Amino acid sequence: MILPIVGYGHPTLRKIAQPITKDYPNLKELVANMYETMYAADGVGLAAPQVDLSIRVVVIGFRPYDEKTNTYGEPTEEHTLINPEILSFGEKKDWFNEGCLSVPEIHEDVLRPTSLRLRWYDEDWQLHEEDIDGFFARVTQHEVDHLDGKVFTDRLSSLRRTMLKRRLNDIANGKVRTHYKMKRK
């Protein structure tokens, strides 16, 4: 089931999301719905607060895009993160142009560490602790920010944020068009 996505300015995006326990009701169904919602919106990551649930659950997925047929292939990478914890960061940082399903039409370069050590549970409640990098590390940082009440535009310079202010206000006021369903305040 595709869930509506909340946009910039929605109060749930500003809350600190709560960890869940093993007996959280219908967790597998929620995770499946989050993947479906993310792919339907052409996203590569989705945090539960973006579907108006203030809990520490994240899905990350990558599907190759075929430009000849304009279709997506099967996912080559998927990660379900439950109660993820970033334990440490690597020293190297780089810039990457980020976007967010809750902040439509805005894409900005964000500087972040390229690697980190992550501990998380998967949807079968298996505990993982790994050093991760690349796509996984980048998207994880963006999504863990959502769990901590932050969006990627918070990480831009104050000048850049001032320049984006009107567009962010428009999103907060529902004045943005998306090909996926958004939930208003």
Burial class (CB in 10 A: 0-12, 13-18, 19+), 48: buried
Q: Rule CB under 5 A: say whether 58 interacts with Zn ion.
A: no
Residue 51 in contact with residue 42, Cβ under 8 Å? Answer: no
Q: Is 46 in the site for Zn ion (CB under 5 A)?
A: no
Joined together, the tokens standing for residue 32 give: 């499946």
In the complex, minimum distance from the CB of residue 10 to Zn ion, in angstroms, rounded to a whole number: 12
Residue 103 β-bridge partners = 100
Dist CA 33 CA 39 (whole Å): 10
Residue pair 20/57 in contact (Cβ under 8 Å)? The answer is yes
The residue (of 42 and 131) whose beta carbon lies closer to Zn ion is 42
Residue closer to Zn ion (CB basis): 16 or 127: 16
Residue 53 sits in the site that holds Zn ion (CB under 5 A): no
For residue 21, the minimal CB distance to Zn ion (Å) is 25
> Closer CB to Zn ion, residue 13 or residue 118?
13
Q: Could you say whether residue 100 binds Zn ion (CB under 5 A)?
A: yes
Q: Does 132 bind Zn ion (CB under 5 A)?
A: no
Rounded CA-CA distance 105/163 in Å is 14
Between 13 and 82, whose beta carbon lies closer to Zn ion? 13
Catalytic residues: 143
Count the residues of the shown chain that bind Zn ion, applying the rule CB under 5 A. 1
Asked if 27 interacts with Zn ion (CB under 5 A), we say: no
Which of 89, 93, 95 minimizes the C-alpha distance to 107?
95
Kindly indicate which of the ranges 16-24, 92-100, 119-127, 161-169 contains the residues binding Zn ion, using the contact rule CB under 5 A.
92-100
Cβ 45 to Zn ion, closest distance in Å?
Answer: 7
N- to C-terminal Cα distance for the chain? 21
Radius of gyration of the chain, Cα coordinates, nearest whole angstrom: 16
Q: Which residues bind Zn ion (CB under 5 A)?
A: 100
